[in-house]
């Protein structure tokens, strides 16, 4: 009876062991989560005003910012009003449906933002959006 097998181990392995695959995916996920915290896009710190309402806008062709000290930025690059007018004209010539996203620092003067809107409208841009920082709406019972 020493030659008989009772356990039935004659069959090959018919199941796929996915545990090593799951381990590898979890390690890759952890590496991805750790490295994404170090990837930071360069940005200009602007303290946007809060608003409870507002719609998401499509990516704009031109992002214009007024800082707290009244400096104008076009797509993050400092620019003067004449340069801004030329850039808006050039972008308007390429795209008739140009959209300008205007961001004004919370500490900037209302007149600076109003003047910027007026400049954009004078150059023929009919569509513009004011950039805000959304805040949660308080619900009263």
Kindly indicate whether the domain formed by 50-134 is annotated with CATH number 3.80.10.10.
no
Give the C-alpha separation, 101 to 74, whole Å.
10
pTM attached to this predicted model: 0.55
What pLDDT was estimated at residue 9? 59
Per-residue pLDDT of the chain (141 residues; tens, 9 = 90+): 455 555 555 677 778 888 888 999 999 999 888 877 666 555 567 777 777 776 665 445 788 889 888 889 988 889 999 999 999 898 888 888 888 888 888 888 888 888 888 998 998 888 888 887 777 766 666
Strands 99-104 and 127-130: what pairing?
parallel
Give the C-alpha separation, 138 to 141, whole Å.
10
């Amino acid at each position: 009876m020493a030659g008989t097998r009772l356990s039935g181990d004659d069959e090959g392995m018919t199941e796929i062991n996915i545990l090593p695959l799951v381990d590898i995916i979890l390690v890759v996920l952890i590496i991805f989560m750790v490295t994404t915290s170090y990837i930071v896009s360069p940005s200009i710190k602007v303290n946007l005003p809060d608003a409870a309402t507002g719609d998401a806008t499509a990516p704009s062709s031109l992002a214009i910012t007024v800082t707290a000290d009244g400096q104008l930025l076009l797509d993050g690059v400092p620019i003067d009003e004449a340069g801004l007018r030329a850039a808006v004209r050039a972008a308007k010539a390429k795209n008739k449906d140009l959209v300008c996203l205007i961001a004004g620092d919370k500490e900037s003067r209302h007149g600076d933002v109003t003047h910027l809107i007026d400049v954009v409208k004078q150059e023929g841009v009919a569509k513009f959006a004011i950039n805000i920082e959304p805040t949660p709406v308080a619900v009263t019972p």
